[in-house]
């Protein structure tokens, strides 16, 4: 079986990261989120702290109003002044993803993984969402904050994720056309969501879990 990847984008509070971790464990494959910063640091020779700093700056900035730096796969060489620009740091994270899928199977959270790996054959792209009230209920159990504060947190997080995605891809983050499977986590147990992903992997002939045995 060739290496494959499952990319997951998700609304804040939708339990998408929980699904990603559960999938990786169920399938016995790697799970990547912020771990990519370390791998990109190793690849580029750029201090990991700069990747983490850029990651936080990109989350805070309000400058993402149009797609100005759509990822093209080109790395900026070390002798240029913008070698450690936010764009090039993103480029190295993307390079790590493209190299990883040639070596191992994995689940990756965010990082525009569905766009970066869009031309790879063994990739399943997932978007996880849930109604506002369900997301707030999930966040309430985690942060123990008033619902109004949690709603504001959710809106801000989703706005930044959408802006980050649009900035580097030129596409809408929540557009179903960018995904193979959109899951409403409020309508599914974790086990049901995992089974749907496994079924899609099997339908795509990426993996075989025995869901669809040949009938005589």
Stated pTM of the model: 0.86
CATH code, 68: 3.40.50.300
**Residue 215 belongs to a domain:** no
Mean pLDDT of 28-41: 81
Residue 73 lies in a domain: yes
Q: Which position has the higher pLDDT, 173 or 88?
A: 173
- pLDDT confidence of residue 216: 43
Whether 208 is in a domain gets the answer: no
Tell me whether strands 181-184 and 123-129 are parallel, antiparallel or unpaired: parallel
What pLDDT does residue 34 have? 78
Q: How confident is the model at residue 215 (pLDDT cuts 50, 70, 90)?
A: very low
> Tokens 């990319």 appear where?
7
Number of domain units in the chain = 1
Residue 82 domain boundaries: 5-203
Contact between residue 161 and residue 61 where contact means Cβ atoms under 8 Å apart: no
Percent of the chain with pLDDT over 90: 57
Residue 60: predicted pLDDT: 57
Q: Is the pLDDT of residue 77 over 60?
A: no
Q: For residue range 37-67, what is the model confidence (pLDDT) as tens digits?
A: 677 667 767 666 666 666 655 555 554 444 4
Q: Is 70 within a domain? A: yes
Is residue 116 within 8 Å of residue 97, measured between CB atoms?
yes
Residue 212 is assigned to a structural domain of this protein:
no
Which pLDDT band, with edges at 50, 70 and 90, does 94 fall under?
A: confident
* pLDDT 10s digits, 143-196: 999 999 999 999 999 988 888 888 888 899 999 999 999 999 999 999 999 999
Q: Let me know if residue 209 belongs to a domain.
A: no
Q: Answer yes or no: is 131 within a domain.
A: yes
The pair of structure tokens assigned to 176 is: 């179903």
Structural domain includes residue 56: yes
The reported pLDDT for the residue numbered 142 is 93
């Amino acid at each position: 079986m060739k290496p494959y990847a499952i990319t997951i984008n998700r609304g804040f509070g939708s339990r998408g990261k929980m699904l990603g971790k559960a999938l990786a464990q169920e399938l016995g494959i790697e799970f990547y989120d912020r771990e990519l910063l370390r791998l990109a640091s190793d690849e580029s020779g750029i201090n990991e702290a700069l990747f983490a700093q850029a990651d936080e700056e990109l989350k805070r900035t309000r400058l993402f109003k149009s797609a100005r730096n759509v990822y093209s796969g080109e790395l900026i060489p070390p002798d240029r002044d913008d070698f450690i620009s936010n764009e090039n740091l993103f480029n190295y994270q993307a390079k790590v993803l493209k190299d990883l899928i040639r070596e191992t199977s994995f689940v990756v959270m965010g990082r525009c993984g569905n766009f970066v790996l869009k031309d790879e054959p063994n990739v399943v792209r997932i978007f996880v969402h849930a109604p506002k009230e369900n997301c707030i209920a999930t966040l309430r159990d985690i942060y123990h904050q008033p619902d109004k504060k949690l709603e504001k947190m959710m809106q801000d997080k989703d706005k930044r994720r959408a802006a980050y995605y649009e900035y580097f891809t030129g596409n809408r983050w929540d557009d179903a056309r960018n995904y193979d499977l959109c899951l409403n986590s409020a309508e599914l147990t974790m086990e049901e969501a995992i089974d749907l992903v496994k079924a899609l992997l099997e339908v795509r002939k990426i993996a075989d879990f025995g869901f669809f045995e040949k009938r005589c």
